């Protein structure tokens, strides 16, 4: 069995919230290289989604391994001290909400997507990471990929995919999950995941053989910190081909830039724009929200690749569309639906405004 762990955190941005600086990428590579030499991990790839540092690791320790989680936690902690604070990066250590590591990185601030499986004869893996949005942003994409035949031809023309997929959906408010089968229960599924700030797709399983097909990060910083501290820029792992959607069927879902929550100050609606690693940076209005997609073939635990999947003219039209959609939203300025509803905002001045106007209402 091989385990793939994608663990990420924002531990400091250059400039503001735009990107992870090269110093942090290099620092993380050094630490993971050392872990590879000590046989803690088999392989790794370090990259960034905007200002989020992404540690992709393969190993044989299973999901929720204390050793692997601790490696990621220590990497983030040490780099915060050694690099972020020294360079006075913006928001140094911002996602590290706890002081001491206690066995599992879940609930401590960083986001994590993890899956363990028996490596197939050929094992294509797609790795997605987004900045300036939240885990629920994956909901429409995962619906399209595993339940919509207008996106995924295999659901209709491949008998293995025709068995359908099981979605495990998390209720973020109650911390509970429910399993729903597609296609029979797609209306119930959509009734939940259409509210992405509340219900989030956590995992997807093949109903042909029960194998894990996709796993997403589902943390909610605000529930950990006890107050609103921002959006959890999300990560996602998807296995492709054979009993799963083809690589191109997975990517096809990203041809439409769905409106997601996040963007400026974590408080605005904007389109999720697919970009190459080179353009994995947030600029206009601290965005727009962006997603990178990396492809790997796994070979005896080694991560062969990556292939930068959105670094292609085939996604130029989507990016153009995303900027048109961004423009439509930006023209709304401080008005909803560009600005999020009060319960989803990272900042609000409303209590202070109400206080100031107290006594003036007639
Ligand atoms: P190949 O015949 O090139 O393997 O392609 C099959 C497939 O899954 C295309 O999406
Ligand atoms: P991050 O969550 O990516 O740090 O962004 C925060 C923000 O306020 C952007 O405007
Ligand atoms: Mg940041
Ligand atoms: Mg971020």
Residue 55 sits in a domain of what CATH number? 3.30.70
Instruction: Please indicate whether residue 330, judged by its CB atom, sits closer than 6 Å to ligand 2.
Output: no
Quote the mean pLDDT of the chain.
96
Q: What angle (nearest 5°) sits at the alpha carbon of residue 97, between those of residues 219 and 177?
A: 20
The domain tally of the chain equals 2
237 and 326 within one domain? yes
Q: Which of 54-58, 178-182, 225-229 has the lowest mean pLDDT?
A: 225-229
Q: Is the dihedral of CA 267, 269, 270, 271 positive or negative?
A: positive
Q: Give the Cα separation of 284 and 5 in Å (integer).
A: 31
End residue of a domain, out of 102, 117, 132: 117
**How far does the centroid of ligand 4 lie from the alpha carbon of residue 263, in Å?**
9
345, 228: one domain: yes
pLDDT at 228 over 70: no
- The length of the chain in residues reads 362
* Ligand 1, CB cutoff 6 Å, lining residues: 241, 246, 248
pLDDT at residue 60 in the model: 98
User: Among the residues of the chain, which ranges form H helices?
Assistant: 22-37, 66-79, 139-147, 154-157, 159-162, 186-193, 221-225, 247-252, 316-330, 350-357
Residue 362 lies in a domain: no
What's the rounded Cα separation, in Å, for the pair 224 and 97? 8
Q: Is residue 351 part of a domain?
A: yes
Which of 94, 117, 140 corresponds to the end of one domain? Answer: 117
Say whether 231 is catalytic: yes
Judge whether 361 lies within some domain.
Answer: no
Q: State residue 145's pLDDT score.
A: 99
Q: Which residues of 260-274 are buried (b: 16+ CB within 10 A; e: fewer)?
A: bbbbbbbbbbbbbbb
Q: Which long-range contacts (CB under 8 A, 24 or more apart) does 170-177 make?
A: 170/199, 170/200, 170/201, 170/202, 170/218, 171/198, 171/199, 172/197, 172/198, 172/199, 172/200, 172/218, 172/220, 172/223, 173/198, 175/223, 177/202
Is residue 360 in some structural domain?
A: no
239 and 304 share one domain: yes
Domain stop point among 117, 145, 170: 117
Longest dimension (CA), the chain: 74
pLDDT band of residue 321 (cuts 50, 70, 90) is very high
Mean pLDDT of 50-62: 98
Nearest in space to 204 (alpha carbons), one of 193, 191, 195: 193
Peptide bond between residue 337 and the one before it cis (omega within 30 degrees of 0):
yes
196 within a domain of the structure (yes/no): yes
Q: Are residues 186 and 276 in the same domain?
A: yes
101 and 225 inside one domain: no
Helix (H, G, I), strand (E, B) or coil at 217: coil
Active site includes 10?
Answer: yes
Encode pLDDT of 280-313 as tens digits.
Answer: 999 999 999 999 999 999 999 999 999 999 999 9
| CA-CA-CA-CA torsion sign (156, 130, 219, 214) | positive
Q: Which of 29, 90, 228, 307 is catalytic?
A: 228
Quick one: what percent of the chain has pLDDT higher than 70?
Answer: 99
| Residue 107 or 15, more confident | 15
Least confident of 50-54, 64-68, 351-355: 351-355
Kindly give the distance from the C-alpha atom of residue 6 to the centroid of ligand 1, in angstroms, as a whole number.
27
CA of 13 from ligand 3 middle (Å) equals 6
Catalytic residue among 202, 231, 258, 286: 231
End-to-end CA distance of the chain: 69
- Based on the domain organization, do 143 and 109 belong to the same domain? no
Assess whether 50 and 164 both reside in one domain: no
- Among 8, 10, 167, 205, which one carries the catalytic annotation? 10
Q: Which domain holds residue 129?
A: 118-355
Token pair listed for 304:
């062969």
- More confident call, 69 vs 230: 69
153 & 112 share domain: no
Residue 63 sits in the same domain as residue 124: no
Per the domain annotation, does 173 fall within a domain? yes
Same domain for 127 and 44 = no
Residue 137 falls within a domain, yes or no?
A: yes
201 & 174 share domain: yes
pLDDT per position as a tens digit, 325-347: 999 999 999 999 999 998 888 77
Is 339 within a domain? yes
- The tens digit of pLDDT for each residue in 159-185 reads 999 999 999 999 998 889 999 999 999
Is the domain of 85 the same as that of 137?
no
How would DSSP label each residue in 2-43? EEEEEEEE---BBTTTTB--HHHHHHHHHHHHHHHHTTS-SE
Which token pair is 54?
């992404």
Which residues 6+ apart lie within 8 Å of 112 measured at CB? 5, 6, 7, 8, 69, 72, 105, 106, 217, 219, 235
Task: State if pTM tops 0.95.
Answer: yes
Portion of the chain with pLDDT greater than 90, in percent: 89
Beta-bridge mates of residue 260: 270
């Amino acid at each position: 069995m091989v385990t793939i762990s994608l663990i990420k955190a924002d531990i400091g941005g250059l400039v503001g919230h735009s990107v992870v600086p090269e110093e942090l990428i290099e620092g993380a590579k050094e630490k993971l290289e050392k872990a590879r030499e000590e046989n803690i991990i088999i392989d790794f790839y370090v990259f960034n989604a905007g200002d989020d540092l992404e540690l992709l690791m393969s190993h044989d320790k299973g999901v929720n391994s204390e050793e692997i989680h601790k490696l990621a936690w220590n990497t983030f902690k040490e780099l915060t001290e050694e690099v972020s604070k020294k360079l006075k990066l913006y928001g140094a250590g911002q996602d590290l909400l706890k002081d001491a590591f206690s066995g599992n990185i879940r609930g401590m601030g960083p986001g994590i997507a993890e899956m363990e499986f028996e490596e197939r004869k050929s094992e294509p893996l797609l790795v997605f990471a987004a900045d300036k949005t939240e885990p629920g942003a994956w909901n429409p994409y995962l619906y399209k990929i595993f339940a919509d035949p207008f996106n995924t031809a295999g659901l209709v023309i491949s008998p293995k995919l025709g068995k359908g997929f099981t979605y495990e959906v998390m209720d973020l408010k109650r911390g509970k999950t429910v399993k729903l089968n597609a296609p029979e229960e797609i209306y119930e599924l959509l009734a939940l995941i259409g509210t992405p700030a509340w219900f989030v797709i956590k995992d997807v399983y093949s109903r042909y053989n029960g194998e894990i097909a996709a796993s997403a990060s589902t943390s909610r910083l605000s529930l950990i910190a006890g107050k609103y501290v921002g959006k959890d820029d999300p990560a996602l792992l998807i296995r492709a081909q054979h009993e799963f959607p083809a690589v191109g069927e997975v990517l096809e879902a990203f041809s439409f830039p769905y409106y997601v929550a996040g963007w400026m100050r974590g408080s605005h609606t904007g389109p999720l724009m697919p970009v190459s690693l080179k353009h994995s940076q947030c600029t206009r209005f601290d965005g727009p929200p962006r997603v990178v997609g990396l492809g790997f073939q796994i070979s005896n635990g080694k991560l062969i690749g990556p292939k930068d999947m959105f670094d292609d003219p085939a996604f130029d039209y989507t990016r153009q569309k995303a900027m048109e959609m961004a423009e439509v939203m930006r023209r709304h300025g401080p008005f909803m639906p560009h600005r999020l509803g009060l319960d989803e905002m990272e900042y609000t001045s409303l209590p202070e405004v109400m206080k100031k106007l107290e006594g003036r209402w007639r």
